[in-house]
Chains A and B, each alone.
Chain A
Amino acid sequence: MDGEPLVRWYWIGDHLGYLWGLLADHAVISLVPVLIGLLLALPLGLLCTRFPRLYQPLAATFNVVYALPSLAVFVVLIPYTGLATQATVMIPLTCYALAVLLPTTVDGLRAVPDPVRQAATAMGYGPWRRLTAVELPSAVPYVVAGLRVAAVSSISLASVGALIGRGGLGYLFIDGFQRTFPTPIVAGIVLVALLALVTDGVLLLARRVLAPWAGRETAVRR
């Protein structure tokens, strides 16, 4: 890359539409899996809290999936879901999101203080109604904390999809690398970071709206 400047601004100017398209694709393939993960984690979390024996096997399964390298999973999926399709990238990302969100949801549901749980029972809540009316809302700060971790990691992992032809902004890294042309790489990094920042901000805002009764921060493991 001798003599090549880090950023050639004209390239960016010429490719605004192209960059926007990649950004939109990246947002879809990284964040839709988090959303699906959330929609699965909530009922699974409720089930695991109601029937605690389910939790360990389920959590272990998703942990194993989480340990698998994303590229390997993409490649394994190609024969079934096709090369360069959204599904091939989004299925593993959904599993990763779930691996983060299931434990945080269960932690949140279990974090309801004992006196609160007992009071709810004594007021005449049945087990399911108590879960959805008392424990689930109380879990919101935990779930949002989990969402923040899952979303940012999904945004970063989605780039890997570029290696099988569907990676949103990740394509810019391959492109720049192959042409020893750093401008797309820099643009990609900046856009990925921006996407992560905006997503995180939206989640923080959602938390303030959904759980105004909670403190500023809730720690999350992982």
Chain B
Amino acid sequence: MIRFDGAGKRHPDGTIAVEGLDLTVPAGRTTVLVGPSGCGKTTILRMVNRMVEPTSGRVLLDGTDVTELEAAKLRRGIGYVIQQAGLFPHRKVIDNIATVPHLLGWDRKKARARAHEMLELVGLAPETAKRYPFQLSGGQQQRVGVARALAADPPLLLMDEPFSAVDPVVRAGLQEELLRLQSELNKTVLFVTHDIEEAVRLGDQIVVLREHGRIGQVADPATLLAAPADEQVAAFLGRDRGLRGLGLRPAGSIALTPLDEPFAGWRLELDEAGRATGWTGHGEHRPAAAFDPGADTLRTALDATVLSPVGAAVAVDGDGRAVGIAARAAVLDALDALHALPPRDEAGHGR
């Protein structure tokens, strides 16, 4: 756990980078610092590993003031990933990854074995090990950067806009990968970005920053999107907050009706494997839209009912077999439940 206790940084020329920050970064979760450029988020990140020394207040790492620890030793215990990966150009991928184990004095064989494991963990082919950084794509370099940060198994990971320099498709892949890694490793991650979408996607806790590292709001992503603290935070969050927020809610809460029950005169057709092939009724055949209540979000479910030409979506399991029917109204009921509204019928909305 990291605790910023009135931590501030004033540069020698008098400009203030960060002013009196109070913040707790919980262990085992991902905390994202998000804000416009110049809000001091990188400075905050670097106060943790002493690449920036606070000029006021304290930064406590598991209760110990970081300035009481020897800088190099402290840093070897903290993973660090930056925007351009910052790989050592003169070292092969495998030796890049083994950097911190090497600095910690592991024997060569153990360090290499560990580096090979890391390579696999971040989804790179074993033959990548012998390449030099300049022979890799930007996305691959970034994966090596993550592998290098994880090699000595540090409990804490600092990530400074690690995915900003790659194209959107690669970025989405890297974000996916980080979520997967984090679900396995449960590191304490402090992640800096200027991209609110990325923050919402990756963060368990999001810290919206203003100039001089002043906190606009600290909240989990769903709360942040649903209830921004003020106009400024709302403006930073951008448009369609409501819909985007639905993308964080599981679709499992939607009440399903049985498959054999007709929906407004439409009957769902299934093949032998139990997959929906479309709706028949009113002398017509219409295609079906589906979502997986076990994996998808309310946003996807709502989207499926909007797409469906009959007003109801098909709920499917992980193998694509239909398990139930979700009427558009049932999805709306699930949305009402988010705001703890009374059931529709009693509230007089009607069906």
Residues of chain A touching chain B, judged by Cβ–Cβ distance below 8 Å, are 113, 115-126, 134, 137-138, 140, 211-215
What are some 16 contacts across the A-B interface (CB < 8 A)? A115-B82, A115-B83, A115-B84, A115-B85, A115-B86, A116-B89, A119-B86, A119-B88, A120-B88, A121-B75, A123-B100, A124-B73, A124-B75, A124-B76, A134-B90, A213-B133
Do most interface residues of chain B lie in helix, strand or loop, or is the interface mixed? mixed
Contact across chains for A134 and B80 when beta carbons are under 8 A apart: no
Q: B72's contact among A113, A124, A211, by CB below 8 Å, is which?
A: A124
Question: Separation in Å of the A109 CB from the closest CB of chain B?
Answer: 13
Question: Separation in Å of the A114 CB from the closest CB of chain B?
Answer: 8
CB-CB contacts below 8 Å: B83-122 with A: 83-91, 99-100, 103
Q: Which chain B residue has the least Cβ–Cβ distance from A212? A: B132
Q: What B residues does A123 contact at CB under 8 A?
A: 75-76, 80, 99-100, 103, 148
Given contacts A115-B86, A123-B99, A213-B132, 15 further A-B contacts (CB under 8 A): A113-B84, A115-B83, A116-B89, A119-B85, A119-B145, A121-B51, A121-B75, A122-B82, A123-B76, A124-B76, A124-B100, A126-B72, A138-B90, A213-B89, A213-B133
State the CA gap A134–B96 with chains docked (Å). 11
Contact across chains for B76 and A116 when beta carbons are under 8 A apart: no
State the CA gap A98–B148 with chains docked (Å). 38
State the CA gap A127–B86 with chains docked (Å). 17
Interface residue? B134 (CB, 8 A): yes
Question: Separation in Å of the B4 CB from the closest CB of chain A?
Answer: 19
State the CA gap A214–B89 with chains docked (Å). 8
**10 nearest CB pairs, A to B:** A119-B86, A124-B76, A115-B86, A122-B80, A124-B75, A213-B132, A115-B84, A137-B90, A124-B72, A116-B86
Q: What A residues does B75 contact at CB under 8 A?
A: 121-124
Do most interface residues of chain A lie in helix, strand or loop, or is the interface mixed? helix
Question: Separation in Å of the A99 CB from the closest CB of chain B?
Answer: 26
Q: What A residues does B49 contact at CB under 8 A?
A: 122
Contact across chains for B89 and A119 when beta carbons are under 8 A apart: no
State the CA gap A120–B82 with chains docked (Å). 11
Q: What B residues does A134 contact at CB under 8 A?
A: 88, 90
Q: What A residues does B73 contact at CB under 8 A?
A: 124
Contact across chains for B134 and A213 when beta carbons are under 8 A apart: yes
Question: Separation in Å of the A61 CB from the closest CB of chain B?
Answer: 31
Question: Separation in Å of the B133 CB from the closest CB of chain A?
Answer: 8
Question: Separation in Å of the B260 CB from the closest CB of chain A?
Answer: 61
Q: What A residues does B132 contact at CB under 8 A?
A: 212-213
Contact across chains for A119 and B90 when beta carbons are under 8 A apart: no
Q: What B residues does A113 contact at CB under 8 A?
A: 84, 86, 89
Q: Which chain B residue has the least Cβ–Cβ distance from A213? A: B132
Q: Which chain A residue has the least Cβ–Cβ distance from B158? A: A122
Q: B90's contact among A118, A121, A211, by CB below 8 Å, is which?
A: A211
Contact across chains for A118 and B86 when beta carbons are under 8 A apart: yes
Contact across chains for A116 and B87 when beta carbons are under 8 A apart: yes
Q: B103's contact among A116, A124, A137, by CB below 8 Å, is which?
A: A124
Q: What B residues does A115 contact at CB under 8 A?
A: 82-86
Q: A138's contact among B82, B89, B148, by CB below 8 Å, is which?
A: B89
State the CA gap A126–B72 with chains docked (Å). 6
Q: Which chain A residue has the least Cβ–Cβ distance from B74? A: A124
State the CA gap A211–B89 with chains docked (Å). 10
State the CA gap A117–B84 with chains docked (Å). 12
State the CA gap A120–B96 with chains docked (Å). 10
Q: What B residues does A214 contact at CB under 8 A?
A: 89-90
Given contacts A134-B88, A140-B90, A212-B132, whether A119 and B80 have CB atoms under 8 Å apart is yes
Contact with A along B144-186 (1 / 0, CB 8 A): 0100100000000010000000000000000000000000000
CB-CB contacts below 8 Å: B24-81 with A: 49, 51, 72-76, 78, 80
Q: What A residues does B145 contact at CB under 8 A?
A: 119
CB-CB contacts below 8 Å: B116-146 with A: 132-134, 145
Q: What B residues does A120 contact at CB under 8 A?
A: 86, 88
State the CA gap A137–B90 with chains docked (Å). 7
